[in-house]
Amino acid sequence: MRPLFLHLGLLLSSTTIAAPLTGCPRDPKPIDLGYTRHQVAYQNLTNSGYLINVYKNIRFAEPAERFHRPAFPPLWDEPGVVRSGNYSQDTQCVSAVPQGAEALFPGLNGTVFGNEDCLFLDVYVPDVLSCQKSTSALHSAGVPVLHWLHGSAYTFGSKELGFTPLGLFDQLLSQGTPFILVVSNYRMGLYGWASSPSDETTQPNVGLYDGLAALKWSERYIHHFGGDPSRLTAGGQSTGAAMVELLSASPDSVDLPFQHAFLSSPALSLKANVTERRQDVFDSILSAANCSSLVCLLDMNEGALREINRYLINDTPSLSGGGNLGPGIGFGPIVDEFLVPELPIANPTLDKSLSRLRSMIVANMANEGAITSSDRDMPEAFPELVRRILPSSTNEIISTIQSLYQWPDAAPEQLAWQWTADAVFACHSLALAKAANTSTRRYIMSIPPAYHGLDLFYYFFTDEETTPVKDVGIAQSLQTLLWKFLYQVEPLEIDSGAEWPFYGTGSFLNITAAGLEVEQLDDKESRRCDIINRIMADPENGI
C-alpha cells in the first residue's frame, strides 16, 4: 500500500447535464447581494427532470493575500455589473495532486492546477424556489441549507472537482423536501496551512479561516436565494469535516454561523506544541524557493510558488503520520490562539463548546486506515509510524498502543491501518459523540471494502455508472436520512421503523451490506479510544 492519503471522496463524477434556461415562465432574476449581483450561470437537470439553478463563483471574501486570513465580507464589486460566474482564469485554489494517484484519479497523477485568487463559492438552488413563492408554512421562511466543505488531504481538491449533487437533489425533491447547497473553496498546501512561529505576519490555519468566512457568507446572504440561515448545516468529508469539527469545538467567543454539523470521516492529526516542527516546514518552503526571508516568498510570482508547492507535496518525504501531506509534519491545522486554542480531545469544556450546536452527525468508515496509512514493514516500523504523530512517545507508550491491537500474522499491515484509523479519524470523532451525547448521532459504514470516503458515493448517489454502490436501496435510504437531518425530523427513523437514537451511552447506526442496523458500541473499542485520546492529549508525548 502506498503511503499516500488518497481522498476517495473526489472520485464522485463531475459530469453534469447542462439544460437551457427554460422551465420558468421567465429566467430567474439576478440575485442582488448588496456587494455584487449574480445571475444563474446554468441549469442542471436531474435524472427525474428537476432543474437546479447553479450560481457560480461568487466571491465570499476579498482576493486572497498570501499567508493571511481572508478579508470578509467582500467589498463592493463593479457597480452595474451582473456576474455569471465566468472567469478567464481557473477559480480553483492551488492544488498539487500526489504522485501515485493515477489509479484513483485518471489524468490527475501529479497534476498541478488552480490560482491564488480562489475564494469563491457556488450555490445550487432548485428551480422551483427561484420560480415561485411557496405558500407552504414549511418553506415560508426559507428552506434548509447544506454548506459543504470538500476533502483534500489538505493539499488538493476544490468545490468543483469530482462533485455532483444532482442525485441528492433528485431524491430530496422527489420527496417534496427542497434544500439549497453551497460548496466553497479554501486554500490548501503551503497557501492554507504554512506559517512561521517566528514571523507574526504569517498567520496559522489560513485554510480554516477560509472555511469560516465561507460559512459566515451563507449565514449572511443565503436568504437571498431562498435559504433559511437558522437551518444551516455545515458538512464536509475528511479535511472538510475536520474543519467543521475544529470550528464546532472552538471557544465560546467564536460566533458559530451554523446550527448543525455533519462530519464524515474527519481527518485530523492536530498538532500542539510544534513550534520547532512548524518552523521546519516553513524553512522547507524557504529552502525550496531559494529564499532567505518571507519577503522573498511574498514577491515570488504565482507560477514559481505553485511549482514550489508541488515539489514539497510530491518530491519531499512526508512524516505526518496520516491524514495530510507535505514536508515534515505536513500541511495541516495546528493549535493557534483564537480558533484552535487546544486539541478538542484535551478541551475540558468540549461539551460546552458543542452545546452551541442543535444537532450533529459524526461518521466513520470501518476501514479508514487501509488506504491512508504508511503500512510497510509492520510491526517493526510501528514505533516510527507512531512517532510521526507523537515524536516524544517512549517505548513504553508505544508498547501500550501496540498492545491495543490484534492482526493476523499474514497481514501485519493491518496494525498500521488500525492505528491510523484510530489516531487520525475515529477516536477524536468518538470523543465528540461522547461530549455531546444527547444531540449527536453516530454511524459507521461497514459495507466492504469500507475505505475512507466511500460513504459519499451513497449520499451523493446519482446512478450506478457515475457513483457505483453495492446497494442502490441503501444509498436512497441514506439520502432520506440526510433530508430528515436537514429538516430536523424527530424521531429520526430508519427504513425498518426503528429510531436512530442519539449516541447516549454508545448507540450508533451500523451501515452494513444487509442494511441499516442500530447497535451498541463495544466497550473494548470505547476503552481503546479513551486510552488513545489520553495519550494523544498528553503534551509529554509531543503531539
**Whole-number percent of the chain with pLDDT over 90:** 78
Taking CA atoms, 346 is separated from 424, 428, 495, 543, in Å, by: 15, 10, 37, 12
Tell me the per-residue pLDDT of 169-204, one tens digit each, with 9 for 90 and over.
999 999 999 999 999 999 999 999 999 998 888 999
pLDDT at 337: 86
SS3 call for 276:
helix
Say which residue, 246 or 138, is predicted with more confidence.
246
Fold exhibited by the domain 8-541? Rossmann fold (3.40.50)
Backbone angles phi, psi at 215, to 5 degrees: -65, -35
Nine cell digits for residue 182: 453551497
Sheet holding 143-149, edge to edge: 18-19, 42-45, 51-59, 120-126, 180-184, 143-149, 227-237, 260-264, 359-365, 440-445, 507-512, 515-520
Tell me the per-residue pLDDT of 296-308, one tens digit each, with 9 for 90 and over.
999 999 999 999 9
Which H/E stretch holds residue 231? strand 227-237
Q: Which residue has the cell 451500523?
A: 510
pLDDT at 137: 45
Mean pLDDT over each residue of the chain, to the nearest integer: 90
Let me know: does 186 contact 64? Beta carbons within 8 Å. Answer: no
Confidence of residue 271 (pLDDT cuts 50, 70, 90): confident
pLDDT at 106: 64
Q: Enumerate the β-bridge partners of residue 440.
A: 360
Confidence of residue 135 (pLDDT cuts 50, 70, 90): very low
- Mean pLDDT in residue range 406-433: 97
